[in-house]
Amino acid sequence: MKFFSALKELVVTLVLAVLIAMILKFFIVDSCKILSESMATTLNVGDRILVFKLAYHFEEPERGDIIIFQPPAEMDEGVDFIKRIIGLPGETVEVRADEGVYINGSLLNEPYINEIPNYNFGPVTVPENSYIVFGDNRNRSADSHYWSYPFITFDDIDGKAILRYFPFNEMTVFKSLEY
C-alpha cells in the first residue's frame, strides 16, 4: 500500500510541476535563444535570455527596452525578432549616416550600439500605439530602417527581455536606460 501511495504522490507532484512550468512558459516568462547578430554586442548569437511576457501589463514600453515581437509580414520567418525600442508614439525619428539617431531633432546618446549607422532614415513620426525599433548592430540589422512600413504596434510585442542567463559568465539583468 505504501508503494502505491508514494507512486500516486509522485505522479500528482510531477503533473503539477509540468502544469506550473507550462503556465510559466506560455503566459509569464519564456526563454529565447539569440539567432542573429542584429543585437551585437549587447546580445550575441547563442546567448539565452529570459523574456517577461507580462511586462507591459504593468508598465508602458520605454525607449531602450529590449523587446521580443512579431516581425512584419514581409520579414516573417517563423521566429520572433528581438530589437531595442528607439522611437515612441508621437516622436519624430531620423537617422543620419555617420552621425546617429535623432529624436525630435536631438541626437540620442547610445553607448550600447556596435557602430554608428552608415545609412539615412526618416524623418518619420511614430503613430499612436506604435514604435520604431532598431538592433544595436545597426548596420547589420533588419529593423525599422529596413522594412517598408517601419513601425511595430503595441499588439506585436510579446515581451521584454529581463535577463541574459547564458553564457553564465556574461549574465546580465537588463535595466531601463536613462535618456
| pLDDT at site 176 | 66
CA distance from start to end of the chain? 66
| Residue 166, beta-bridge partner list | 48
Q: Side chain identity at 149, as an amino acid letter? A: Y
Residues marked active site are found at: 38, 83
Pairing of strands 157-166, 152-153: unpaired
For residue 27 the three cell numbers come to 503566459
Maximum pairwise Cα distance, the chain: 77
Check if the beta carbon of residue 140 is closer than 8 Å to that of residue 45.
no
Counts for the chain of helices (H) and strands (E), in that order: 2, 12
pLDDT digits (tens), the chain, 179 positions: 787 777 777 776 777 667 666 666 666 778 889 999 999 989 999 999 999 998 898 889 999 999 999 888 887 777 889 999 999 999 999 999 999 999 999 999 999 998 999 999 989 999 999 999 999 999 999 999 999 889 999 999 999 999 999 998 988 888 765 55
Check if the beta carbon of residue 144 is closer than 8 Å to that of residue 87.
yes
**Residue keyed to cell 536613462:** 178
Q: Which residues make Cβ contacts (< 8 Å) with residue 5, sequence separation at least 6?
A: none
Residue 105 backbone phi and psi in degrees, to 5: 90, -5
**Residue keyed to cell 507532484:** 13
| pLDDT at site 9 | 77
